[in-house]
Structure 1
Amino acid sequence: MKLMKIISWIIKGVILLLLLIVAFLNTQNVQFTYLPEQSTQLPLIVIVFGGFVVGAVFGLFAMFGRLLRLRSENNRLRNEVQKSARLTTEAISAPVAKPAVSNNKVTK
């Protein structure tokens, strides 16, 4: 298991290193048009990194509603399990009524 973690970190490090090399090789300025007739010159890496950040923020907002829904469901299920456990404990500790023994014999 530990070997898999080490291999995973090595692969992540290699990917990060490759992305950094690509970033440093692409420092030329490109025109970024953000509104009609409005543009600016920015390094390519700034635009790519900015796009990544904007995408990550939108992704977080998209997942936030699902997170709240799952938290609510988790709390509801946890309360249901606690209630069930409490009822089971009460049923176990409650005295059991013994059936009445009858000495009358039934004849046909």
Structure 2
Amino acid sequence: MKIISGIIKLLILLIFLLLAISNTQQVEFFYLPAQGINTPLIVVLFGAFLVGAIFGVFALFGRLLTLRGENTRLRAEVKKTARLTEQDLLVPHNPAANTTMPTEHKE
């Protein structure tokens, strides 16, 4: 399975490398109104990818914090339940209480 995922990753890398090599023409990129620079197209595409990835991480950050809080709460609940279960299972060992044998009644 690791070999297959490695081959897939290598293919994706080659596709992106081909994309980068074939998109080297200069384009004008306007970062502010009337403020433009000439850069290779692949730089603009890579920049757009990075901005999208950063926004995606920030969008998931709130959900991550929520899940971490829930995970902490559930771990504490499991520990509390485990302590209660251990206390319920602890039976005092008193061998002197069971020394007499029950007798049979004969009629």
Give TM-score, length-normalised by structure 1. 0.79
Percent of aligned positions that are identical: 61
How far is the alpha carbon of 1:32 from its aligned partner?
0.7
Residue 14 (structure 2) pairs with residue 17 (structure 1): yes
State which drifts further: 80-89 or 33-42. Answer: 33-42
Correspondence for 1:70 among 61, 67, 70? 67
* Structure 1, unpaired ranges of 5+: 96-108
- For the residue of structure 1 that corresponds to 2:31, the secondary structure is strand
Q: Among residues 2, 5, 12, which one is paired with 1:5 in the alignment?
A: 2
Partner residue, 1:28: 25
- What is the count of residue pairs matched by the alignment? 92
User: Which of 45, 49, 62 is equivalent to 1:48?
Assistant: 45
TM-score after normalising by structure 2: 0.80
Structure 2: which amino acid aligns with 1:79? A
Q: Secondary structure at the match of 1:67?
A: helix
Q: What is the alpha-carbon distance in structure 1 between the residues aligned to residue 81 and residue 27 of structure 2?
A: 63
Q: Structure 2: how far apart are the matches of 1:52 and 1:92?
A: 57
Alpha-carbon distance in 1 for matches of 2:28, 2:80? 62
Shift of 1:94: 4.7
**Is residue 84 of structure 2 the alignment partner of residue 83 of structure 1?**
no
Unaligned runs of 5+ in 2: 93-107
Question: Which whole-Å CA distance do the structure 2 matches of 1:12 and 1:55 have between them?
Answer: 21
Q: Measure, in 2, the Cα distance between the counterparts of 1:47 and 1:64.
A: 26
DSSP-derived class of the 1:24 partner: helix
